């Protein structure tokens, strides 16, 4: 099983749509979780951290289910500018310091 | 406040050559990680430096080595370049600890011909 697995995508949605990204992770000792966004040929940028209680930032909502080792990201009222690759990221936990990235899911929002 | 800076931005090398990539972390960050990103893939962890030592390493051969300096800046060295080493190399800095996300530099795009 891969350390971090995401929906393969790509997703093509119209402006205004709601889109959900799903991610699972294999290491139950992981302590921190993030969603990053990466535009074409650019570096990844932190979109939001993910907390156990769930958290929201404007149109973006992240959820974490530790029992199922599952993370999600919901984007409401999608904009053209949301078009990017969304990367699910998990830290190793304990003395495993690295952040492990999923392969990413490409989102294209169409006019 | 300068973010993470990497140099050079682009590089073309021949098979068998050696390359050195450089990274200056964001102000206030003391931990530097290096990632390799091939086209269509997520970033793959190469190694992480903290307190001038390699703290953790990913599944990369010994041809990949690095260094961290007292000012927290870092270098990534790759020897005996292979065609498969062509990728975007990303440097990320963070504060020490498991709950901090990384700030990435814009990367060095390495092409091996």
Using one digit for the tens of pLDDT, what is the confidence trace for A84-99? 999 999 987 777 788 9
Whole-angstrom distance, CA of residue A99 vs CA of residue A19? 25
Count CB-CB contacts under 10 A for residue A61.
18
Inter-chain CB pairs, A–B, below 8 Å: 58
Give the pLDDT confidence of B11-23 residue by residue, as tens digits.
999 999 999 999 9
Q: Give the integer Cα–Cα distance in Å for B109 and B113.
A: 13
Q: Which residue has the tokens 């050079």?
A: B8
Residues A76/A51, Cβ–Cβ less than 8 Å:
no
Instruction: Give the pair of three-digit tokens for residue B29.
Output: 């960050």
- Token digits of residue A36: 């990053």
Enumerate residues 6+ apart whose C-beta is below 8 A from A56: A62
Closest to B101 (Cα-Cα) out of A86, A105, A88, A42 = A88
B2 pLDDT tier (thresholds 50, 70, 90): low
pLDDT digits (tens, 9 = 90+) for A34-47: 999 999 989 999 99
Interface test with A, best of B41, B102, B108 (most A CBs within 10 A): B102
The answer, yes or no, to whether residue B1 has pLDDT greater than 80, is: no
Chain B interface, best mutation among A5, A98, A103, A104, by max B CB count within 10 A: A98
Q: Taking CB atoms and an 8 Å cutoff, what residues of chain A touch B92?
A: 99
Quote the pLDDT of residue B90: 98
Preceding omega of B8 cis (within 30 degrees of 0): yes
- pLDDT category of residue B68 using cuts at 50, 70 and 90: very high
Q: Are A99 and B33 in contact (CB < 8 Å)?
A: yes
Mean pLDDT in residue range A44-71: 94
Tell me which of A79 and B95 has the higher pLDDT.
A79
Between A42 and A2, residue with greater pLDDT: A42
Three-class secondary structure of residue B84 per DSSP: helix
């Amino acid at each position: 099983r891969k350390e971090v697995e995401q929906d393969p995508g790509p997703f093509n949605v119209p402006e205004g749509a709601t889109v959900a990204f799903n991610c699972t992770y294999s290491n139950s000792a992981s302590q921190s979780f993030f969603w990053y966004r990466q535009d074409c040929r650019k570096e990844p940028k932190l979109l939001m951290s993910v907390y156990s209680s769930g958290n929201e930032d404007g149109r973006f909502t992240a959820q974490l289910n530790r029992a199922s080792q599952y993370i999600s990201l919901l984007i409401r009222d999608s904009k053209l500018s949301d078009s990017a690759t969304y990367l699910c990221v998990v830290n190793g936990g304990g003395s495993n310091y690295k952040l492990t990235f999923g392969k990413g899911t490409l989102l294209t929002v169409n006019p | 406040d300068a973010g993470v800076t990497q140099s050079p931005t682009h590089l073309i090398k021949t098979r068998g050559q050696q390359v050195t990539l450089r990274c200056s972390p964001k102000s206030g960050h003391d931990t530097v990680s290096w990632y390799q990103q091939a086209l269509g893939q997520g970033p793959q962890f190469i190694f992480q430096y903290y307190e001038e030592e390699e703290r953790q390493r990913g599944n990369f051969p010994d041809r990949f080595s690095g260094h961290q300096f007292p000012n927290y800046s870092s270098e990534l060295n790759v020897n005996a370049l292979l065609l498969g080493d062509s990728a975007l190399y990303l440097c990320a800095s963070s504060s020490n600890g498991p709950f901090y996300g990384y700030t990435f530099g814009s990367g060095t795009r390495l092409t091996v011909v």
